[in-house]
Structure 1
Amino acid sequence: MNPTGTASRDRDGSAGVSRRRLMGSGLGAVAAALAGCSGNSGPLRRLRLATGPEGGPYNAFGQALAQAVAAGGRRLEIVPVSTSASVDNLRKLDDGSVELALAMADAAEDAVLGRRPFTRPAAVTALARVYVNYTHLLVPADGPVRSVQDLAGRPVAVGATGSGVQVVAGRVLRAAGLNGGSAPAGERQLGLAASAAALRGGAVDALFWSGGVPTPALSALARELPLRFLPLDGYVDALRQSHGPVYTTVTLPAGVYGLTEPVGTIGVGNYLLARDDVPASATRELLRVVFERWSDLLREVTAGARLEPRFAISTGAVALHPGAVAYYRSVYG
């Protein structure tokens, strides 16, 4: 994956095979039935979208999507709901307190497979993979930390409780032997704003973040405090072996955050998700807006990203919603 958002090819092709079968099996009738649905007929449908904390990228995407749907005169209303992000969103989606959610791919696969921290498979389907998060691990440039191993015994901000950042940070630290090992890192559950303040004030020695590039809060921090971004691409293979192909190698490009050279790191997709009982007509209308307005939706989330169908349908173990399948078939064949 590069900063444009173009999809990397998965090393494990099994998910792609099953998805092709799904796309080709008996869905022509569904697509034909939906073709007659008009966004300007029928009752208004209100869908609650679990996003993330206010000021964060998920919340920005959710607000932009709600505005785009309203501006298009669709028979839909999107209501963004502020949350702690990925894990919290998946739980709300499963218990029915929201109909839509945004979540990182690793947490979404844990949910549908019933893996920790989830106790059973969740009722979650995918509408699209919308963009890729880049895992950031940053430390003060003049400090002693120059590798993940140097975090042993040090306080580290790992994201808010219930966030996808916390999931990937914990997995990186475990892969490095620093989570539950003989010299664990001291994890602090802090959101992005609190993490940045803690790093600036010296309360933590490192900060994990997973988001678009550049993340405005980190750009602002880099203007105040000289930073070093630690490479994490060496952990991708270990994460894939333990958790599957949701993890890819990506690069923080030179120029962002004042970087003078690229830094390899870990990429994780972000999914727009729906409960499986959301009507197919509603998901199709929503995807129509997403693909018509993707540049507006991603503008405040990740610079230079582009949403393409072949990228959007790559949702791994999380099955596409039948309405999403019908949309892609009817528009892209």
Structure 2
Amino acid sequence: MKKFLALILSVAMIFALVACGSKEGDTPNTDGDTQQTDTPAAPVDIVIATGGTTGTYYAVGNALVTTIGDKLSLSKLTAVDSGASKANVQLVTANQAQMSILQSDVLNYAHNGSGGETMFDGAADKNSLWVAGVYNETVQLVTAPSITSIEDLKGKTVCVGDVGSGTALNAAQVLEAYDMTFDDIKVMYDSFSGGAEALKNGQCDAAFTVSGAPTPALTDLATAYNFNMPSLSDEAVSYLTTNYPFLVQDNLPANTYTCVADETVCVAVKAVFTASKDLSEDVVYEITKAMFDNQADLAKAQAKFGYLSPEGAVAGSFDLHPGAEKYYKEIGVL
């Protein structure tokens, strides 16, 4: 009987030791589970809304993706076509895109709830924040040879772009700098290609376009028509850049077009990369830094990146994304 009790006690002690060992062994396993949850988060998927597939915005967006995409650890970039500036603001707000390319004036209209009923009047949208202005889209005015100044436009037929277009808004701003409105001219609404054709055929006296210079349509027009490009006065430039901070001075060099022998003083809006306010500071900082670290390769991929510079990227800027702002402060341009 004593032997039997001793056997029972021995078995009980063995089970107790095994149980203790199991509890002690649980701790490393728990630690191991904790270590597994510390692995880096997966890269954030970022869709970049650009423009039409034949346009510059689409080419610029795709160049960004192919050039810096594999250099990012925090995000994965994809460029998609879109309806361009206004549509891109709306896509970011709907979270169908997280970044975009658009005109700086359209971004301003969105943030301020302005720009007329064709833009954002009374419906401010502040979801897209400035990352980098890449290149200028110049407000260009071409005129008949008899017109040598902006003041000469009074009473003349002027093509101001399509109804409700950004070009029409910029044309009105230029006239405003000379104390004029659309009431002081005979307004023609048409695309720039239509306006250029009307100018060549004598059906209008001047036409506005907003585009990167040299603009192919103007280069072609110069081969068939000897147009003028009146410069803005210093006072007009000061008025425009003060009252419309999204506008920057942009001087076109002599012979940008074969029929224009002198430098032309203009203003321009910026083609701007924006990011959703919901993207983290770290993600946008990494993208911004990668753009400038790889600027030479970007310029080889798409010529417009040849205009990218830290100073130019913040010219006319407002409401910078915190990630972009961190980078610009780090390199001393802010």
Q: Does residue 41 of structure 2 align to residue 45 of structure 1?
A: no
Aligned to 2:124: 121
Structure 1 CA distance, aligned partners of 2:230 and 2:303?
A: 22
Give the root-mean-square deviation of aligned CA atoms: 3.5
Match of 2:24 in 1: none
Aligned equivalents of 2:46, 2:248: Cα separation in 1? 35
Structure 1 contact 177–184 (Cα < 8 Å) conserved: no
Aligned partner of 1:255: which letter? N
1:132 aligns with 2:136: yes
Matched residue type, 2:210: S
1:86 equivalent in alignment to 2:67:
no
Corresponding position of 1:214:
214
The one-letter amino acid paired with 1:251 is: N
For 1:159, the equivalent position in structure 2 comes to 161
2:291 is paired with a residue of what secondary structure?
A: helix
Offset at residue 253 of structure 1 (A): 0.8
| Partners of 2:96 and 2:165 in 1: CA distance | 18
Change (3 A) 1:273 1:204: farther
- The question of whether the paired residues in 2 share the 8 Å contact of 1:105 and 1:269 is answered with yes
TM superposition score normalised by structure 1: 0.70
Q: Would the alpha carbon gap of residues 286 and 138 (structure 1) be closer, same or farther in structure 2, given more than 3 Å must change?
A: same
CA shift for structure 1 position 233: 3.6
- Structure-1 residue corresponding to 2:21: none
In 1: Cα distance, 2:103 partner to 2:261 partner: 29
Question: Matched residues in 2 for 1:296 and 1:197: separation?
Answer: 38
- Asked if the contact 1:252–1:264 (Cα under 8 Å) also holds between the matched residues in 2, the reply is yes
Aligned partner of 2:66 in structure 1 is 67
Query: C-alpha separation between the residues in 2 aligned to 1:47 and 1:319?
Result: 21
Structure 1 pair 237/129, CA: closer, same or farther in 2 (3 Å)?
same
Aligned to 2:291: 290
Q: Does the C-alpha gap of structure 1 residues 62 and 167 become closer, same or farther in structure 2, counting only changes over 3 Å? A: farther
In the aligned structure 2, how far is the partner of 1:94 from the partner of 1:132? Answer: 25
Distance 1:217 1:252, change over 3 A: same
CA distance in 1, matches of 2:225, 2:304: 22
| Residue 247 (structure 1) aligns with | 247
SS in 1 for 2:133: strand
SS at match of 1:224: coil
1:5 aligns to what?
A: none
In structure 2, give the amino acid aligned to 1:165: T
- Per the TM alignment, residue 170 of structure 1 is displaced from its structure 2 partner at its CA by 1.9
Correspondences of 1:267-282 after superposition (within 5 Å):
267-282=268-283
Please, which runs of 5 or more residues in structure 1 have no aligned partner?
Answer: 1-36
Q: Distance in 2 between matches of 1:79 and 1:72?
A: 16
Shift of residue 284, structure 1, vs aligned partner? 3.1
- CA distance 1:225–1:314, shift in 2 (3 Å): closer
How far did 1:140 drift?
Answer: 3.9
Match of 2:47, SS state, is strand
Deviation of 1:331 (Å): 6.5
Higher normalized contact order (CA 8 Å, seq sep 6+, divided by chain length)? 1
Q: How does 1:120-199 map to 2 (within 5 A)?
A: 120-122=123-125, 123-141=127-145, 144-160=146-162, 163-181=165-183, 183-190=184-191, 192-199=192-199
Letter in 2 for 1:132: N
Segment of structure 1 superposing worse, 322-331 or 228-237: 322-331
Contact 1:86 1:107 in 2 (8 A): yes
Task: Note the C-alpha offset of 1:180.
Answer: 4.1
Closer/same/farther in 2, CA of residues 241 and 307 from structure 1, 3 Å limit? closer
Letter in 2 for 1:149: E
TM-score (norm 2): 0.70
Q: By how many angstroms is 1:126 displaced?
A: 0.9
The residue type paired with residue 161 of structure 2 is G
What letter is aligned with 1:209?
A: T
CA distance in 2, matches of 1:176, 1:95: 40
Q: Percent identity?
A: 26
Deviations 1:210-268 (A, max 9, x none): 3333223322322232221121244223324533x433433211121123211212233
Residues paired across the two proteins, number: 287
CA shift, 1:104, in A, is 2.9
Higher helix share: 2
Q: Measure how far apart 1:139 and its partner are.
A: 2.2
* Contact kept in structure 1, 2:167 and 2:210, CA below 8 Å: yes
Query: SS of the counterpart of 1:257?
Result: coil
Secondary structure of 1:150 counterpart: helix
